[in-house]
A and B are shown apart, each in its own frame.
Chain A
């Protein structure tokens, strides 16, 4: 980056005066000349020209290919029957449910993380090709997260372990199941009373827990540990102190008028984020003019912060100070909260951290006005005292009404406390553990390094890892056993009261793998020859028949009940959550004022993309732009612009961060809206053995986690930061299309790309966006679209910018992974992107997220310039792209004002990681209804034409007309908040019509008169307390 970034170097700059424009990065805001130079053209310098062929071999590639082609053609015509069209090989005995060309859907449960959302798996000819939410699931209601969407790739991951391995002389050799099992059973039998430790992630399956219990009774020295690096143990322990019950309940966000979130990213990162986002968005309903108000106080800009009406920056270790001040202020107004902490006032905190006092006063009066209809929520990583104070505040304000006790979280097996894990490791060190069994867990990577788990394992006699893909822990194991993917597995899950969910396999194991529980069962039996594929299936059924079915009081016999339940994926039950006792005031009186250092604070977060690292080998997730910073393929230390200035740091500079004895070198990234003197790092990166894709991506921030953390494992108050020599290149996906010079300066504001307003404005004058009306005239006649004409609408009030639509589109449309270097060249292939626009100052930015897809313009500029007519218009209003005609001139992309077209500079499947995606097993992942594009052609969003064609065929079959509501696009299906709607523009009776013609709706670059067909519904900020409804 340029050295002379105007201003950013020494003094803290103010943005150019008088311009309330939108901006996407600092370089753009401050007109960094080099940046502007490098981004003014569509393609970066050197990406598409100045190709130097002098360094090439003397037989040119072209000549070589010509020779090759000619000889092949000669051989081909001479020796073959050119009329031969191959064979058609039908099934010998066709499974009854399969119709070639038609998808089957199976309900199951996603076990990629412990949230266990209900899923619907789409299979074609017996192979799963897409995962969506199960609409019948009472919690996730048909939606799943980006990781769930992308986890289909994990099934076909070429890195999956294909057979058991054993370590001999420090090298792994292929082994067979029988010998491995026999040797392991021998070791288990002869543990001699020493501990057998099973280390698992959170167990949500009642039947899996029963297997573990059986295992423990067969081998009595067994102890079961379960851990999650990111969960809410602090929230739960605070809840227990306050109310005496185990689990913090879910929250009815849809009933909240006022929400205050203290560094709590409930929309982006919590265990319930799918449910949270859905319920929250119900309170952002422009159709019914229902608006909640979200106050966010946070350390770094998050998904929740981007959605906030009022956002304040506060370093995370100061939140106790904040909540106590808030309580004091409410007490002053007579709310009578029985906490007496002198010295904390909002006035002080507002002065100290330059928080807007008016906003704080508005917050106080809103909380008082909306007793019983507001909720205060604190982040998982905040210390227990904050949670206790928040619980108390909610209790006194009557906000307990918003806790959902009907569908309360249940834990099948509580997570091990950190002390238990510490004890395990010290027993390992002392040689008191005979066998350690890792159930797809990776403690070497996850546990704090000061525990020296790695070293501890070397003192354990037998270390066993059951994994899908090898990881850091399996590297140090004696036996590595391959397990089934979730789509090859049986199971059940219990996460909430009121229902169970079931998991069923949709494909036979691709390799010589076995299901975790089945492996344990064969060890329990002690005789490996007892294993057969259905061993756990039978166990699951008999457990349900004996223990769960009788309680459910079903009218069906068990067989019918079982198949019904498998079909639905869920089973309702009558169990209730444990009762909650009145608030225990003693817990509140124990709150100690926090001592806060003036040094840096450090917040370690779970990655939005690869979570705690378990999705590191998933290219789709690595390449998913960070919802806020748009960074791909990396993590970084996020710091505020002011802090960067104070320390002379710039994005890409390396710093060394130390917490106590632990330290890490990591590049910094200047994040607008971050709080000063605080650092936020996401983990899940820096995997040493994370597969072909995941190894060596980013930096391992787990090395900063301290086993004896004072505040919480994820929050450190006294952190030292030192600039070190060197730079590291962080790549962001968005600045590719920067525009900010001369005539295009301030384009987003001037051209009305982002339009926004306040709820107040809207209620006064619903049509306030369209005060200036223009009549657009054209010399071209307008085509009269008869019948169905497709259109989309995006409600920017609901859009969180999370990226679920991006992943869903990738899966549906066979989008390749291109790699970090190619994203840097502006060659990412995503058909849908989320543009994030900042406005206001870099310290307190306001954020707008805009989903950007092909707008399918009626007068599409791309169509006019294609010299080979490869892109044309269809009579149902779609801008068609025909790959076979495309010769790759890229004129269309150049002429597209929205920059939504993507060009295949390479055959990316071949180009990325040495043909990783060309691996034969990846062919099974492809959607057979969508062409797999190769090098040299242009592509773009098709409005899911394959789904439209399918719906049209169905309509023809049923002898009826095609309706707009027959088609749902992949992004629409995936959107948790239902921000994306799709339908027929010409049908005035459909629901879509109300979106298309909403008062807040506008089109992008309407004045070009190209007639785009994606309606954007402008974002409203609910900022004036007078209109709170």
Chain B
């Protein structure tokens, strides 16, 4: 029997096309996953601030700046005035500090690029997590080693639930935590 053009399409062309489409889809899906979840996002900030220097080397407590973290939903990015507590005297000659002082003196808004974000309809609370004894590092990574802050964990609902459902395994140091809530209104309302 003579091979028809149709046979050629069915046997060769079609499977190859389907394979290519599926493969490229799968490849893109997995390859871009971190990027879609925001993992690795490390934007340039208006002031080149180093957590490694301040929190790591100088061991300034996180809550010196992020004052809301134990009290409120929001950890709070510190007001410029907090920086000026030291920098009215310290390192006044450095270009970044000169920039900072300018912001402060002119009362200008300092627009830090946002790195971590959960959607508007998720009401994440820092205070609950911190007061349960969960370390900042658990979600934000080794911040004391970070010259420039980027996102290290995925902040999707899936990642929240992964930890909530097996908190005991993930945070073995915390003896009195078994499991975080996993009902809807724990986060959404």
A942 close to B (CB within 8 Å): yes
Which stretch from A489-497, A945-953, A985-993, A1007-1015 is at the chain B interface?
A945-953
A92 touches B114 (CB 8 A): no
Q: How many residues of B contact A (CB 8 A)?
A: 45
Mask of A946-986 contacts with B, CB within 8 angstroms, 1/0: 10010011001101000000000000000000000000000
**Whose C-beta in chain A lies nearest to the C-beta of B65?**
A90
Interface-facing stretch out of A137-145, A582-590, A616-624, A874-882: A874-882
Distance of A851 Cα from B115 Cα, bound (Å)? 46
Q: Are B114 and A87 interface neighbours, CB within 8 A?
A: yes
CB distance from A158 to the nearest CB of B (A): 24
> A99, B67: Cβ atoms under 8 Å?
yes
Known pairs A875-B183, A957-B70, A957-B127; A93 contacts B189 (CB<8 A): no
Contact A94 B81 (CB under 8 A): yes
Q: Is A883 in contact with chain B by the CB < 8 A criterion?
A: yes
Residue in A83, A94, A931 whose beta carbon sits within 8 Å of that of B189 in the complex: A931
Asked if B174 lies at the interface with its beta carbon under 8 angstroms from chain A, I say no
Which residues of B have CB within 8 Å of A959?
131
* CA of A85 to CA of B36, assembled, Å: 12
In contact, B121 and A100 (Cβ under 8 angstroms): no
Q: Give the shortest distance, in Å, between B62 (CB) and chain A (any CB).
A: 15
Interface residues of B in 144-189 (CB under 8 A from A): 181, 183-186, 188-189
Quick check: B183 and A83 within 8 Å, CB to CB? no
- Please tell me which one of the listed residues B38, B79, B121, B181 contacts residue A90 in the complex, with CB atoms under 8 A apart: B79
Residues of A within 8 A of B142 (CB): none
Given the complex of chains A and B, what is the CA–CA distance between A83 and B151 in angstroms? 11
Is B111's CB under 8 angstroms from A89's CB?
Answer: yes
Nearest A residue to B112 via CB reads A88
Smallest CB separation, B165 vs chain A (Å) = 14
Interface string of B53-83 (1 = CB under 8 A from A): 0000000000000011011111011111100
A952 touches B114 (CB 8 A): no
Choose one: A83, A84, A88, A880; the contact of B77 (CB below 8 Å).
Answer: A88
Find out whether the CB atom of A956 lies under 8 angstroms from the CB atom of B131. yes
In the assembled complex, A18 has its CB within 8 A of some CB on chain B: no
Of B2-10, B15-23, B87-95, B102-110, the segment with at least 4 beta carbons within 8 Å of chain A is B102-110
* A533 to B: closest C-beta gap in Å: 19
Select A949's contact among B38, B79, B109, B125, beta carbons within 8 Å. Answer: B125
For the complex, what is the distance from the CA of A178 to the CA of B72, rounded to whole Å? 45
The smallest beta-carbon distance between A884 and chain B, in angstroms, is 6
- A873, A874, A884, A953 interface centre (most CB from chain B within 10 Å): A953
Instruction: Say yes or no for A930: interface residue by CB 8 A criterion.
Output: yes
- Report whether B35 and A83 are in contact in the complex, using a CB–CB cutoff of 8 Å: yes
Known: A85-B117, A884-B121, A949-B125. A957 touches B68 (CB 8 A): no
B68 touches A92 (CB 8 A): no
Q: Which of A839-875 contact B (CB under 8 A)?
A: 872-875
Does chain A have a CB within 8 A of B33?
A: no
Q: Is A91 located at the chain interface by the 8 A CB criterion? A: yes
- Of B68, B73, B80, B184, most A-chain CB atoms within 10 Å: B184
Contact count band on A: 35 or more
Contacts A94-B79, A94-B81, A942-B189 given; does A83 touch B114 at CB 8 Å: no
What are the residues of chain B within 8 A of A942 when measuring CB–CB?
Answer: 185, 189
Interchain CB contact under 8 A, A93 and B125: no
Which listed residue (A102, A872, A875, A883) contacts B71, Cβ 8 A? A102
- A912 CB, nearest partner CB in chain B, Å: 23
Query: B189: nearest residue on chain A (CB-CB)?
Result: A945
Instruction: Report the nearest A residue to B81, measured CB to CB.
Output: A93
Name the CB-closest residue of A to B71: A99
B109 with A100: CB separation less than 8 A: no
Q: In chain A, what residue has the closest Cβ to B106?
A: A92
Is A929 an interface position by the 8 A CB rule? Answer: yes
Whether B112 and A90, one on each chain, are in contact in the complex, defined by CB atoms closer than 8 angstroms, is yes
B residues near A946, Cβ cutoff 8 Å? 123, 189
CB distance from B122 to the nearest CB of A (A): 9
Q: Report Cα–Cα, A953/B115, bound state, in Å.
A: 25
Contact B131 A86 (CB under 8 A): no
Q: A100-B74, A882-B188 are in contact. Are A956 and B132 (CB under 8 A)?
A: yes
For the complex, give the distance between the alpha carbons of A946 and B121 in Å.
12
Of A87, A92, A872, the most chain B CB neighbours within 10 A belong to: A92
Whether A781 sits at the interface, judged by CB under 8 Å, is no
Q: Is B104 within 8 A of A92, CB to CB?
A: yes
Say if the beta carbon of B113 comes within 8 Å of chain A. Answer: yes
Are the CB atoms of A85 and B115 closer together than 8 Å?
Answer: yes
Assess the A101–B72 pair: CB atoms within 8 A. yes
B117 contacts A957, C-beta separation under 8 Å: no
Would you give the shortest CB distance from A517 to chain B, in whole angstroms? Answer: 31
**Are B107 and A92 in touch, CB under 8 angstroms?**
yes
Most buried by B among A90, A99, A878: A90
CB-CB under 8 A for A99 and B108, given A85-B114, A88-B114, A92-B81: no
Taking CB atoms, residues of chain A closer than 8 Å to B131 are: 953, 956-957, 959
CB distance from A28 to the nearest CB of B (A): 36
State which residues 72-97 of A face B: CB under 8 Å.
83-94
Closest to B105 in A: A92
Give the complex CA separation of A959 and B125 in angstroms: 16
Q: Are A884 and B71 in contact (CB under 8 A)?
A: no
Pick the 7 closest A-B CB pairs, nearest first.
A101-B72, A101-B73, A94-B79, A91-B79, A874-B183, A87-B111, A85-B114
**Interchain residue pairs with CB less than 8 A apart (18):** A85-B38, A85-B113, A85-B116, A88-B113, A89-B109, A90-B76, A90-B77, A91-B80, A92-B81, A92-B107, A94-B81, A99-B67, A101-B73, A873-B183, A880-B184, A880-B185, A930-B189, A956-B128
Residues of B within 8 A of A (CB): 35, 38, 41, 43, 67-68, 70-74, 76-81, 103-104, 107-117, 120-121, 123, 125, 127-128, 131-132, 181, 183-186, 188-189
Given pairs A85-B117, A92-B79, A872-B183, 9 additional interface contacts (CB within 8 A):
A84-B43, A87-B112, A99-B76, A101-B72, A880-B184, A882-B188, A930-B189, A946-B123, A949-B123
